[in-house]
Structure 1
Amino acid sequence: MPAVASRGSRRRTISEINMVPFIDVMLVLLIIFMVTAPLITTGVIDLPTVGKAKQRPEHVIEVVVVGDEALKMRLDGKDTDPVNLKSLAARVKQAQAGDANTPVVISADKAVKYESVVKVMDTLQRSGVQRVGLSVKSGGA
């Protein structure tokens, strides 16, 4: 029932909002959120680690991106002639000699733009090379 103010013989209602129930509800919600916040577990991301390979495969094709964005190929640790991006896929397919499981590793200098490495990886994957990976330096050095 609304509050009534009487002044003389006329009665009129007071048109003010009662804030007490609103504040009570807000305090209850605040307490509920404070209690449940520590119980919410964050998602765990399983990141890959480096250095768990048992041994290096016998036949590896390595594509090296040099500081000036030139490309070189290494077959089993032996340097070959420089190669450009357009003929890279054909040279890698030729080096694989029909074995699609031969791994291709991309190595790049720290100063090389990330875009150059992605272009090399994209070129190899578009040409159908199955196993393309990135070479990393393990350890703190």
Structure 2
Amino acid sequence: MIDRELSNKFQEMDKQAARLREAFSALTTAHQVFQGAGALRSISVSDQFDDDSIEATFNGVRIKFQMLLIFGADRRPRARAVCIHCHCTYGAPMQVLLGAFTFGSDGMTDLDPDVEGNFPRMDTDAPAIVLRYLEAAFAANKTL
């Protein structure tokens, strides 16, 4: 017999999954900013792939954001964006975890807040999120 509470939990995830994917896809809007007012035309951000991932590149450095559906501590549907540094070391392809953050269907992340105490949002802060993880990839290059 299926536990009713568990069934309800998964039904809620089913309802929220599309909104979580939509919030994740907001990272792709960073491309427009970088190509326009951001004046960082060397940065490219892909569209969302079928496997719920988005890639960003800058001068040969490539990172990948992979979205995973999760249940938060409050048992509510959330998404986890895992950022991976994709590179080659001695000719062998490597993928190294740079970090991760969670967000809700409203796009609010759990990344560190700004000086005013505002947490970054997927829809309004996508370029800053991408730059944050590109910077982490450059820092990781020092240790390769």
The normalised TM-score by structure 1 is 0.23
Which structure would you say has the larger Rg?
A: 1
- Greater share of strand: 2
